[in-house]
Structure 1
Amino acid sequence: MDMKQLRSFVEVARLRQFTEAANRVHLSQPAVSTQIRALERELGVDLLERTTKRVTLTEKGELFYSYALRMLELEQTALERLSDSMGQMITLGASTIPSSYLLPPILSGYRSENAGCFFRVLQSDSHTAVSQVLDGTVDFSVVGEVPDNSALTIREICRDQLLIVTPVNEHYMTLKHHTPSLQQLFQEPVILRESGSGTQKNFDRFLERHHIHKEDLHVAACANDLEAIRKMIVSGMGISMMSACSVRDLAGSGQVLVYQMHEDISRHFYIVWQKRRSLTDSERNFIGYLEKNVPR
């Protein structure tokens, strides 16, 4: 198994076709096909199902795809760490909200004071971000769920309130004016996050506490892209439970309505790293800067 085979397999798996994948890796289509067949022989399993019309992943192929992505990320991390031209590199895993809303101003501020530092950020869900810490793909991860693993050091960095967010139109403005109950509110179309999302896990627990059954919801969409969910709400598609920091701009500009619940619905964000890891001075400085400057 070599990295060229992995790159070819990942591109075919991502694009579901050989022709465009071959263009991406700058090889001929027969060469890519040969690489993947060699990989399948070495692994002893079929990774792809090939028909004249399409290419799909087998069950084993789906499993191997996640490992192949991780191996390519590790290769990139190793190459960057060995490159003197990049100076001190810190590789961060992050779930969606930290990656999109918490970390950008932090990284910018830290870089302004430490010009020799270079960041590499890998966005995923909380579960994957923690796995990347454990397997060494990243140095640290910033996540919205407390991982249950004794091999990790875990520090809480901030708290974020969860809100129910709705579109702004006559229907929803009238609804808010009448102060609807939760049961009335959740008769509206609902947009859910993916199952690995920390926000979605908090939403599931919230529904359970209030005896609202998830299967009774009118689910309009389920998406793993937070920006897509924001746009769906703005366009009037439905309501969702969102992190306050992820909709602060939309609420401030009047593009959405927000409901603050009578109970405190909040979540916390954490930075995690391996306990056995010996932190460099630069890494300690970054953690201190993050804890001091993250919005609270």
Structure 2
Amino acid sequence: MKIIQLEYFVAVVNYNSFTKAANFLHISQPSLTTTIKKMEADLGYDLLMRSTKDIKITEKGIHFYNYAQQLIQNYHQTLEKMHDLKIGHVAKIKISILESTNQWISQILATHSKLNDAQTYLISEVHDQSRIIELLINFESHVAFTNEQIGHEAITSIPLYEESYVLLTPKNAFPNTHTTSIAHLPLILPTKGSQVRKHLDDYFNRMNIHPNIVIEVDRFEAATNFVHRGLGYAVIPRVYYQSFNARDLDAIDIKPKLTRSIYINYLKKRKHASRVLSFINQCVDYWNFKE
């Protein structure tokens, strides 16, 4: 069975119509119908139940549809990777970052790209550690940044720097104050499930604090925008305070202090290109110099 046949079947299911699917695929409807019937004959069971009014997918068809989608996605990802290798014979460097690391990583990339002609990059934000491990082990990311050390035996996890969390407030909301408790303040926090939220929840439990959470958001950028609007105070990593979005706001130290460490991670067994290794070294050197 060919990938194109799977794509034909997926199109019929998505459009719930042979006519619409044929138009989308730029083939004739009889040709599409013949292809699906041949697939069913080869498989030995029906994928679709047809009537004069509509099309319904069978139970086996549902399972086949899910597998087909996965196979199609893997096929196109493989083609993309082969295309990446072809362009200038320089593979794209794929990096998983944290939102709070945007500012300083952009500085590293600016220098790295100048030293490495024709280098391209694919940057994605990934905050779930299990997903990061999966991306590294499956060779889908060259380098990943995390806010906790990865303890997997196949992954090298190097600490880069430690930073504190701060309270982001409108200008002069707390005049003449350098530190504050966040016990009773209206807080804008990351949503449940994020690593930062886990750090904060652990902190609240240790300090026996029942936080006054007024807004939960997925990204620091959104939290910062809400602080600008006076809707509450955000708890963010100090390095994020360097971002353009945090301009014209104050960052106040939290008491008792809450900190986290940032790690750079890569797969041990992978034969990394010199350009990937130089990027890793630049990140390590950047923070060694800072300290």
| Structure-2-length-normalised TM-score | 0.69
- Relative to structure 2, which stretch is displaced further, 115-124 or 257-266? 257-266
Equivalents in 2 of 1:90, 1:181: separation in Å? 42
One-letter amino acid of the structure 1 residue matched with residue 141 of structure 2: V
Offset at residue 237 of structure 1 (A)? 1.3
1:239-258 mapped onto 2 (5 Å cutoff): 239-249=233-243, 253-254=247-248, 256-258=249-251
Contact residue 166 and residue 233 of structure 1 kept, 8 A = yes
Offset at residue 276 of structure 1 (A)? 1.6
Question: What does residue 184 of structure 2 align with?
Answer: 184
Contact residue 103 and residue 243 of structure 2 kept, 8 A = no
Offset at residue 250 of structure 1 (A)? 6.3
Unaligned runs of 5+ in 2: 46-62
Give the total of aligned pairs.
260
Question: What does residue 140 of structure 1 align with?
Answer: 143
Does residue 96 in structure 1 map to residue 99 in structure 2?
Answer: yes
Contact residue 168 and residue 252 of structure 2 kept, 8 A = yes
Question: What does residue 197 of structure 2 align with?
Answer: 200
Question: What does residue 209 of structure 1 align with?
Answer: 206
Equivalents in 1 of 2:283, 2:259: separation in Å? 20
One-letter amino acid of the structure 2 residue matched with residue 243 of structure 1: P
Offset at residue 166 of structure 1 (A)? 2.4
Q: Aligned to 1:235, which of 210, 218, 229?
A: 229
1:13-92 mapped onto 2 (5 Å cutoff): 27=25, 71=74, 74-75=77-78, 78-85=81-88, 87-92=90-95
Equivalents in 2 of 1:178, 1:95: separation in Å? 27
Q: 1:257 to 1:282 in 2, by over 3 A?
A: closer
Equivalents in 2 of 1:68, 1:273: separation in Å? 27
Q: Give the secondary structure class of the aligned counterpart of 1:75.
A: helix
Unaligned runs of 5+ in 1: 45-59
1:10-54 CA distances to partner (integer Å, 9 max, x unpaired)?
Answer: xx99xxx999xx99x9658xx9xx99xx9xxx9x9xxxxxxxxxx
Alignment root-mean-square deviation, CA:
4.6
1:251-270 mapped onto 2 (5 Å cutoff): 253-254=247-248, 256-270=249-263
Q: 1:258 to 1:275 in 2, by over 3 A?
A: same
Larger Rg: 2
Offset at residue 154 of structure 1 (A)? 0.8
1:273-284 mapped onto 2 (5 Å cutoff): 273-284=266-277
Percent identical:
15
Question: What does residue 152 of structure 1 align with?
Answer: 155
One-letter amino acid of the structure 1 residue matched with residue 274 of structure 2: D
1:238-285 CA distances to partner (integer Å, 9 max, x unpaired)?
Answer: 11210112123569843x232213444221111112222122322222
- Relative to structure 2, which stretch is displaced further, 137-146 or 277-286? 277-286
